[in-house]
Amino acid sequence: MKKSIFGLLVILSMIAVACGGSSLEGEEVFITGALVGNDAAGFQENFDSFTEETGIIVSFQGSDNFEQEIQIQMESGDTPDIALFPQPGGVVDAAQRGYLVALEDLGVDLDDYKANFSEYIVGLGTVDGVAYGGAHAFNLKSIVWYQPAEFEARGYSVPETWDEMIALADQIVSEGMNPFCFGMYSNGASGWLATDWMEDIMLRTGEGTVTYDKWVSHEIPFNDPVVKNAATLLSQIMHTDGYVVGGTDAIVSTYFGNAQDPMFEKDANGNPGCFMHRQASFITSFWPEAAQAGAGTETTVFPFPAMDDGLPKAALGGGDMFAVFTEGDEAVNAVVEYMLSDNFFAAAAQRPDNSRIYGHVQFDSSLYSKDITRVLADAITGALAENAFRFDASDLMPPEVGAGSFWKEMMNLAVEGPGYVDTALDNIEKSWP
C-alpha cells in the first residue's frame, strides 16, 4: 500500500475524493506477523465485520520467519502497514531505529489506551516517552494446572495462599504421593522454568511489583534479601523430599513439554503421578492428545497462590504488540483504532477456535468461546486493572543474565540443593553487565 508502481491507489483515492464518497472504500491495509496456520486465519477473520462496515480491505500474511523478514523489510523501505511483533522488544528496537509511527500521530487516544491496558503495558512499547506499540494478545504464566476431579475425590481444596499450597503438598506427601510436576530441561534454554517460578514469587513477596521492577532494572542487587527469600522458597519446592515426582534428577532432565505427563498417568491405585504443575498457558499443546481435549474442564488451572499480605493479585506473562509503519493514511488509522477497540477483542474472543487471550479490560470476558481462555483472561485483566501484570523478568533483563547466568544458576541450584542459594545469587549478581 505504501507504494504501487502504477500509482493505482493514488488515482483511486483521487477519484474517490473527487466523487466525495467514502474515501476509504477499497483501500488495502497490509498486516504481517508471526502467526501462521489457524492462528493466522483467525486473526484475519477478526476483521471481517470491520471490512463490511468500512470497506477497508485488511489482509494479513503471516510467516514463521517473521522476525528475519521484518528486518529485511525495514531495510528495504518496503514495509507492511502494520506488523504484529511477538515481543514488545521488537517494537522498541524498530522504534529506536526510526521506522515506526507514534500512536499519537495515528489518532490514538493515549489516555483511553492506558486506561484499557494499564500504564505498564503502554510503557513496554514506549521509547523516550513516545508510545509506539499497540497491545494485542497476552499469555499467562502465573497459573498452576490441576485436575479438579482428583482434588475432589481426595477432599483437597484449591490452595489460595502459598502456605495452603505447602500444607496441601505436605499432606499429599504424607499420603504417599507426589504433589508437583516440575521439569525444566529445554535444550539451550534449560532453566527458564525456574526463572518463571522466581518471578512469580518475586511478584508476590516484598513490595510486589515495586521490588519486581527494581529487580528487573537492577536497582536492587540480585543477592538482595528479597530475591534470596524467593530463591529459598523455590528451593523448598525443588528440594523437599517427595515434593517433585522423580526428585531432583527429574527436574533437571525432564523436558518441560513432557513435565506434566505424570499427571495424566494413573498408577495401580488410581493415583496420578502429580497433582500440580505450574506452567504457562501454552503448555496444553504439549499434552497428550487425549488430555488436550479436557483442557479447561478435566485439567484446569488455579492462579498462582498469593504470598505476602496486602499485595494485589499479580500476574506474570508475555504478549504480542503491533506497530505501525505507514503514516498519514486514513485507512491505516482506522484499522489501528479498530485493533485497540473492545469491538475487535470481542470479535476475536467469540471465534469458536480462539485460544488467544486479550488484555482489554473493557470487554465482557464471558464472550470467550472456551472456558479455559476466559479463566486465564480474567486473571490477566484483573491484574492489569490493578497494574500488577508484569512481563517475564528474564526477557527484560540483559541477555547475559536473563538468557544466561540466571538460567544456568537455576539449573545448578536444582542440582546442588538448598545450600547453593547464596552462591547462585552471588554468581548471577557478578555476571550483571
Partner 1 sequence: MTRNNQRWYDKPITKLILVAIALTWIFPIFGFLLSSFRPPEAIKRTSWWEAIYTGEYWRELTLQNYSEVFFAENLDRSFYNSLAITIPSTIIPITIAAFAAYAFAFMEFKGKNFLFMMIVASMIIPLQMSLIPLVQLFKSGIEFGGITLIPALDINGTFVATWFAHTGFGLPLATFLLRDFMMGLPKSVIESAKIDGASNMTTFLKLVAPLSISGIAAFATFQFLWVYNDFLVANVFLGVYKPENLVVTSHMSQIVVGLFGEAWHLRLSGAVISMIVPLIVFFSLQRFFIRGLIGGAVKG
Binding site for partner 1 (CB under 8 A): 3, 5, 30-32, 36-39, 59, 61, 63-65, 69, 72-73, 75-80, 83, 285
Quick one: DSSP state of residue 269? T
Of 12 and 385, nearer to partner 1 (C-beta) is 12
Of 38 and 96, nearer to partner 1 (C-beta) is 38
Report whether 136 contacts 358 (CB < 8 A): yes
Of 37 and 155, nearer to partner 1 (C-beta) is 37
Residue 31 Cβ vs partner 1, minimum distance, rounded to whole Å: 7
Tell me how far apart the alpha carbons of residues 115 and 109 are, in angstroms, rounded to a whole number: 10
Say if strands 315-324 and 389-391 run parallel, antiparallel, or are unpaired. Answer: parallel
Residue 292 Cβ vs partner 1, minimum distance, rounded to whole Å: 12
Residue 30 Cβ vs partner 1, minimum distance, rounded to whole Å: 5
Of 69 and 164, nearer to partner 1 (C-beta) is 69
Residue 353 Cβ vs partner 1, minimum distance, rounded to whole Å: 11
Sheet strands (E) in 153-219:
180-181
Q: How far is CA 333 from CA 17, 149, 220, 329, in A?
A: 17, 49, 41, 6
Please tell me the number of Cα atoms within 13 Å of 54 on its side-chain side.
21
Record the cell numbers describing residue 320, joined without a space: 504480542
Tell me how far apart the alpha carbons of residues 330 and 205 are, in angstroms, rounded to a whole number: 47
Q: How far is CA 257 from CA 120, 184, 391, in A?
A: 30, 9, 21
Residue 35 Cβ vs partner 1, minimum distance, rounded to whole Å: 8
Of 4 and 253, nearer to partner 1 (C-beta) is 4
Neighbours of 433 (CB within 10 A): 9
Of 149 and 282, nearer to partner 1 (C-beta) is 282
Residue 344 Cβ vs partner 1, minimum distance, rounded to whole Å: 20
Record the cell numbers describing residue 160, joined without a space: 489460595
